[in-house]
Amino acid sequence: MYKSTIMIKDIDTAREFVDKMAQFMDTEVTLNSGDYSIDGHSIIGIISLDITKPIEVVIGYNATDELLETIKQYAI
């Protein structure tokens, strides 16, 4: 399992993030913000979060190096 903290600055960044996560549909990607946990593959889920604050991302055990590099692009 991998954990990191990311920032999604705006709706365009959220859309870009979801598009990139779509390449990894077989891996569990969970975003946590406050009391909420959502699927990292869901644009509706992401825009329902407070994107002005850092978001914790948790990736399942079958994460690939390519996925981890993609997540690092959003890390803070």
12-27 pLDDT per residue, tens:
999 999 999 999 999 9
pLDDT of residue 61: 87
Q: Give residue 66's pLDDT band: very low, low, confident or very high (50, 70, 90).
A: very high
Half-sphere exposure of 49 (CA within 13 A, CB side): 29
Q: Is residue 68 a contact partner of residue 59, using CB atoms and an 8 Å limit?
A: yes
**pTM of structure:** 0.91
**Domains of the chain with CATH codes:** 2-72 (3.30.1340.10)
Over residues 30-64, the pLDDT tens digits come to: 999 999 999 999 999 999 999 999 999 999 888 99
